[in-house]
Amino acid sequence: MGMTITEKILAAHADKDYVEPGEIVDCRIDLAMANDITAPLSLEEFEKVGAKKVFDPNKVVFVLDHFTPNKDILSAENCKRIREFSIKYGIVNFFEGGQCGIEHALLPEKGLVVAGDVVIGADSHTCTYGALGAFSTGMGSTDITYGMVMGRIWFKVPESIKFHCYGKWQKWITGKELILHILGMIGVDGALYSAMEYTGDAIGTLSMDSRFTIANMAIEAGGKNGIFHVDEKTIAFMKEHATRPYTVYESDGDAKYKQIFEIDVSKVGFTVACPSLPSNAKDAGELGSVDVDQVVIGSCTNGRLEDLEMVAEILKGKKVAKHTRCIIIPATPAIYGEAMRRGYFQIFLDAGCIISPPTCGPCLGGHMGILARGEKAVATTNRNFIGRMGHPESEVYLAGPAVAAATAIKGKIVRPEEVI
Amino acid sequence: MILKGKVWKFGDNIDTDIIIPAQYLAHTDPRVLSQHCMEPLAPDFAKKVKSGDIIVSGTNFGCGSSREHAPLAITGLGIPLIIAKTFARIFYRNAFNKGLALLEADISDLVEDGDEIEADISQGIIHCKGKEIHAKPIPPFMEELINEGGLINHLKKKLEG
């Protein structure tokens, strides 16, 4: 029996020729990552076990991106603690201040993840790196401690679900609309414990940025990982960014899938996920009049250059609606700099947007854009659970960059053609 | 081990933002976290729940973030066990790593808030409303891990050995 790309990567890292779904494997890891929220708990466990060193100071990564720039004293204390740990144990990839971006945009950009890797991170959106043909998944702080010390971790080999995507994309439609569409089809536990594998011509025509967006939201279907095959776009991305060699794995023709979905992407419209589940998918055009108090464009899902480019194109020469706040968060310092050089910042400022430093901030209701009782937001982020961005009676609609930008102009949820 | 406790019932897809909202995540102390457990959905929960009470839920309990603060907020209240139809996978691992027992069984429609139930954790047998329900068995690998005192004790032994 053949193996899927996910099974092959896990087998290689467990030094086995063959693995199958359900099997428990003990794998070498290429990277263990934690952030300013999850690392403090990892470090507590690290001290408890009396570890003297990390398995490899090059392969443990800390990114202080959630409550930074520090939102309060406690957050500052947490960051200080991680900084001191990083100095003590010689952690090479410690990111804070002006070097810091949103972890899942930053790590691929820094070339720290390549095709064929096994990466674990104490953040549920660690599944983002599947866009590069790597196996990556989120875990809790204690599992990360084990990985940090041993350089290994146990996995249950997941079953795989294949999403075969074909057809021509409509204008302004991105990976975000596709993944929201898929969540609408299969639900928030539709891929529970499973690998979500993407194939087909329509994936080949997608940018790397859009692929990161799709892989990023595997967790919103309960998935263990999202994964893409390596093609010339992946290789070009790695040539530009990677710091070490990569390994390409391909799914066998007779690999076994739990389910196979055929998706005609020409039928994917401006999907929006209504409160309070990412699977609550509707078309932006069928929502009626939803007044919006805040628009957030950013996050590990949609804070990349392609997203900002689309938003700039739509906002150019337009104004954000009165009484609507539009916060734009370039995900990394490099994206920030490039958006500035390309003139997007002037467009955003002229339109009346707020440009935030890279931070997870409002996505998880941390800081830098919290909602009051009864307020509604459209966000290019990944979750719209009850109270996600602030007050429990506030609401979040998830959308792609084009709908978010158009919504900022109109002050209510609209399709982009209504403002162009 | 046999646990007896009163039921607190929750629905499907109880996410980690409900279990412990992000605004409290700079804290790591379970006693502090627990005071905000389930706050967006049931603001009085932390005040009313008693040590030893049991959470019963539907599908996909613990979906969302990887925050280990979620099982800590629950164990901080003295809740030893959650019985749900299914659990989200990161939460499942985190709960075991933090000493919170989980049983996969569909008893949500059988019980009401305040009902007294009994569960044999190691056998995976639940007694409620005069019925005996068998939970989905815990994977043998995880059972071994529990017998060793959890992942951190397992790691400790490796480092000492």
Give A195-211 pLDDT, tens digit per residue.
999 999 999 999 999 99
Q: Does residue B21 have a cis peptide bond before it, meaning omega lies within 30 degrees of 0?
A: no
Phi/psi at A397 (nearest 5 deg)? Answer: -105, 130
Residues 4-43 of B with CB under 8 A from A: 13, 15, 17-18, 21-23, 25-28, 39-41
Phi/psi at A216 (nearest 5 deg)? Answer: -55, -40
Residue B119 bridge partners (DSSP): B3, B126
Number of domains in chain B: 1
The domain that holds B122 is classified in CATH as 3.20.19.10
From B63's Cα to the closest Cα of chain A, the distance in A is 7
DSSP B101-158: EEEE---TTT--TT-EEEEETTTTEEEETTEEEEPBPPPHHHHHHHHTTSHHHHHHHH
- N residues, chain A: 420
- For residue A297, which of A330, A322, A269 has the smallest C-alpha distance? A330
pLDDT of amino acid A240: 98
Q: Identify from B90, B97, B106, B138 which residue to disrupt to test chain A contact, counting A C-beta atoms within 10 A and taking the largest count.
A: B90
Judged by CB atoms closer than 8 Å, whether chains meet at B60 and A189 is answered as yes
Cross-chain CB nearest to B159 (options A50, A126, A154): A50
Q: Is B139 touching A (CB cutoff 8 A)?
A: yes
Taking the complete model, does pTM exceed 0.95, yes or no?
Answer: yes
Residues 69-108 of A with CB under 8 A from B: 71-72, 74-75, 78
pLDDT of amino acid B150: 84
Range of the domain at B39: 2-160
Give how far the C-alpha of residue A348 lies from the chain's centroid of Cα atoms, to the nearest Å: 23
pLDDT of amino acid A55: 98
The residues of chain A scoring below 70 in pLDDT are none
pLDDT of amino acid A121: 98
DSSP letter, residue B15: B
Q: Is A124 touching B (CB cutoff 8 A)?
A: yes
From CA B154, how far away is CA B161, in angstroms rounded? 10
pLDDT of amino acid A315: 98
pLDDT of amino acid B95: 96
Q: Identify from B14, B65, B148 which residue to disrupt to test chain A contact, counting A C-beta atoms within 10 A and taking the largest count.
A: B65
Judged by CB atoms closer than 8 Å, whether chains meet at B152 and A45 is answered as yes
From A133's Cα to the closest Cα of chain B, the distance in A is 21
Give how far the C-alpha of residue A368 lies from the chain's centroid of Cα atoms, to the nearest Å: 19
The residues of chain B scoring below 50 in pLDDT are none
Judged by CB atoms closer than 8 Å, whether chains meet at A37 and B26 is answered as yes
Judged by CB atoms closer than 8 Å, whether chains meet at A385 and B22 is answered as no
Q: Is A143 touching B (CB cutoff 8 A)?
A: yes
Contact assessment for residue B141 and residue A34, using Cβ atoms and an 8 Å cutoff: no
From CA A32, how far away is CA A107, in angstroms rounded? 11
pLDDT of amino acid A123: 98
Q: Is B73 touching A (CB cutoff 8 A)?
A: no
From CA A181, how far away is CA A385, in angstroms rounded? 17
Residue A164 one-letter amino acid: H
Contact assessment for residue B40 and residue B18, using Cβ atoms and an 8 Å cutoff: yes
Contact assessment for residue A82 and residue A43, using Cβ atoms and an 8 Å cutoff: yes
Q: Is B158 touching A (CB cutoff 8 A)?
A: yes
Cross-chain CB nearest to B68 (options A142, A277, A392): A142
CA atoms lying within 13 Å on the CB side of residue B48: 12
- CA-to-CA dists, residue A64 to A55, A58, A77, A165, B29, angstroms: 21, 17, 12, 36, 20
